[in-house]
Chain A
Amino acid sequence: MKILTTNYLTCALRTCKSHPNSFPLHFRDAELQQDSSPFNASFIANILPRLDWSALLTTATELGFTNLPLEKPTVVDERVGMALHRILIETQVVEGKLVCRNCGHEYAIHQGIANFLLPGHLGISPLLLVWGGALAEIYV
């Protein structure tokens, strides 16, 4: 899984999504792999405004990258672009876990594929939540 993806990923639990702790997810026992892929400057320029820079810094520090600037760069020149490309696209997490700070749920990563399937009792349908809420209202 690319570091880029981690910057967009939140906890899959519906109740967690609104909580600030659910983003970013934190790596545990991460095993990294460096690939090489062609540098695509316009793609980096396209996604840069949508990157959450503080979350990226957190993730990068957890994984041991410290060469990122503290402020989000406004213009992408060759040097910054390549550095971003190296971290966001070419660095892959192959094995490990992603942990949500809010609910503590661990999402396992095997061979680069994260398992975001929720067990039945966690992925409660909104219907049941509403019914539960309605029942609670009646009894309170």
Chain B
Amino acid sequence: MRTSCLAGQSCSSAGQRERSSIIIRLCCLRISSSGLPCPNTPRLPHTPQTSGEKDSNSQFNSRLHLVHTSANQTPPPLNSHKKNSNKQRRHRSNVSPGRYSVRISPAAPSKDTNDPHCSPPDLFYNDHESQKYTTSSRIQTIQTTMTQRALSLLSLPYPSLILDIGCGSGLSGESLTASNHTWIGMDISASMLAVALDRETAGDLFLADVGQGVPFRPGTFDAAISISAIQWLCNADTSDVSATGRLSSFFEGLYAALKRGGKAVLQFYPKNEVQRGMITGAAIRAGFGAGLLEDDPGTKNVKLYLVLTVGAGAGEGGADDVTNMVRGLEGVDVIDERRKGRDGGRDGVGEGKKGSKSWILRKKEQGRNKGKFVKADSKYTGRKRRPAF
């Protein structure tokens, strides 16, 4: 079935040459349009491709997964801690690949701090590693490209106040300063911040663990950005914290610290599907409208961006919120993985509402199967009566 939708219309009206298709899986709609490229889309430096045949015009072959979110997108009530804690407890016992704890004990074998999967970020990024990270031209290029991409997703119209989560040595911050924004950076690694000091970055720096919350008053930031950082939240390095607990305090803090209508783009490297699910799940539970943008899916250079919106725009039609952010970007597939509304979902299964025609027919069939006397079906079965005068 081919039709046009809100986002589809905007794509074609913006005039795109490249293929930009929007797939909404659950509604069984497949919409594709083609046109001319948007004139206002910022041109980005080319990323290396592993797949040879690609449209030379499009920089990214991207997919946006709209992750399930509650229909009215209300933040969870304050007294819902108990339910959450149960969830967390269950999670704790069932899922182990996503979280692991590192305990420093004399009996344990000596820790290899070079393996990012076994040491916490503040130990992994020591002086040597921070210096290496910051001076590597390859990492610099990748970081700048990803920051530019995140900025184009945020599409901030005026100079804004931006929170940089895991700012490190300020590689991403430099792009923000270049775009005339003011930023505040948080990082857990003191060595990385020392490098940032040497480089004389323009933003304010904080030595802080975002897993402990975001210490800003509500509605502070226009936007938040994070480049290759939040996967570290999946580490629970001591026994008194859990990965889910850290993720939820981070996302709840971030949700509060962003202004209504604010946006966040968080690029991260999940270790596996479980981590990816944990991070997106925590964002949605905090009340965000979430989408997962995949650049160059299926290649070695795949980059994941968690695209989050706060409040505004989620009300009408549902698909309005996150898809707004990819408008005017080239070559983005939108895949809707959201569950439908409560009664909508039941209709999809085919059971029908109580009292509807399909429900009556089903009940009659059940009666017949039991051998009861059931009146024959006719064109009048389940039909509404005419309103009597």
Binding site for B on A (CB under 8 A): 1-2, 4-5, 8-12, 14, 17, 23, 37, 40, 42-43, 46-47, 50, 52, 89, 111-118, 120, 123-131, 133-134
Q: Which of A116, A120, A127 contacts B207 (CB 8 A)?
A: A116
Find out whether the CB atom of A50 lies under 8 angstroms from the CB atom of B220. yes
Chain B residues within 8 Å of A12, by CB: 208, 212-213, 215
Chain A residues within 8 Å of B245, by CB: 125-127
Chain A residues within 8 Å of B246, by CB: 125
Find out whether the CB atom of A131 lies under 8 angstroms from the CB atom of B85. yes
Interchain residue pairs A-B with the least CB separation, the first 5: A116-B208, A12-B215, A43-B159, A123-B212, A125-B245
A-B contacts, 16 listed (Cβ < 8 Å)? A4-B182, A10-B215, A10-B217, A12-B208, A46-B160, A46-B161, A112-B205, A113-B197, A117-B208, A117-B209, A117-B212, A124-B240, A125-B242, A125-B246, A125-B249, A126-B245
B interface residues, how many (CB within 8 angstroms): 41
| Distance A42 CA – B241 CA, assembled complex (angstroms) | 42
| Distance A34 CA – B85 CA, assembled complex (angstroms) | 48
Find out whether the CB atom of B215 lies under 8 angstroms from the CB atom of A116. yes
Q: Which of B186, B188, B216 contacts A8 (CB 8 A)?
A: B216
Q: Which of B82, B206, B242 contacts A114 (CB 8 A)?
A: B206
Chain B residues within 8 Å of A17, by CB: 213
CB contacts between A and B, total, < 8 Å: 109
Sample of 18 more A-B contacts, CB < 8 Å, known A10-B217, A117-B207: A8-B217, A10-B215, A12-B212, A42-B158, A43-B159, A50-B220, A52-B217, A111-B197, A112-B197, A113-B207, A114-B207, A115-B207, A117-B212, A123-B213, A126-B85, A127-B242, A130-B84, A133-B81
Most buried by B among A8, A10, A43: A8
Indicate whether B265 reaches chain A with its CB closer than 8 angstroms. no
Chain A residues within 8 Å of B186, by CB: 116
| Distance A54 CA – B261 CA, assembled complex (angstroms) | 25
Taken residue by residue from 191 to 219, chain B's Cβ proximity to chain A (1 for < 8 Å, 0 otherwise) reads as 00100010000101111110011011101
